[in-house]
A = this chain, B = another copy of it.
Amino acid sequence: MSGIAADDITPWLPPEDLARVRRQVPMLYLDLLPVRMDDSGTVTQVGLLLRMSHGTLSRALVSGRVLYHETIRQAMLRHLEKDLGPLCLPKLPPSPQPFTIGEYFPTPGSGGAYDPRQHAVSLAYLVKVDGDCQPQQDALDFTWFTPAAAQAPEVLAQLVDGHATVLRRGLAHAGVEA
């Protein structure tokens, strides 16, 4: 999952409070697959972020927390614009039903993915993105992959823990599994 974004830290939740809350309750996240589609509605590309962390390159979905008193749809828009820029023009899905739920635990081997920072549960959605996408903040790059290329072993291996699973479920849901 992505690091703590600046706008995730609100006046009433300073870093030390967030750090404590992350060890007290599961954190609600979104895992978003930005997709390009052709006129027939077929997903032709999925976008992944590239980041450098502790000297290692890793790829990730658009991902982040839902804030206190924020709706799911507001959080979707905020994270897409935060990670892809204000011109990405996302088309949010009409239904709140996610295609899957991601589970992330601070202890490896707990039945989900590993996230050393926290226990997190994500709602996962496909989001059509029509506009111009530019990597923001700490991202080095944002790359569109065909469904087959995104599921190549070397790409899956670069993904942050748990995101390969969500990515494959999303592409299977879209009917474009490799």
Give the contact-size bracket for chain A.
Answer: 35 or more
A121 touches B28 (CB 8 A): yes
Copy number of this protein in the oligomer? 4
Task: Enumerate chain A interface residues (CB-CB to B < 8 A).
Answer: 12-13, 17, 21, 23-28, 35, 37, 39-43, 65-74, 76-77, 91-101, 103, 105-107, 110-112, 119, 121, 123, 126, 128, 165, 168-169, 172-175, 177
B68 touches A173 (CB 8 A): no
- A sample of 23 inter-chain contacts (CB < 8 A) reads A12-B24, A21-B21, A25-B27, A26-B70, A35-B94, A37-B92, A37-B94, A39-B77, A41-B73, A69-B110, A69-B119, A72-B121, A91-B91, A91-B128, A94-B128, A95-B174, A96-B100, A96-B101, A96-B175, A97-B97, A100-B172, A168-B172, A169-B175
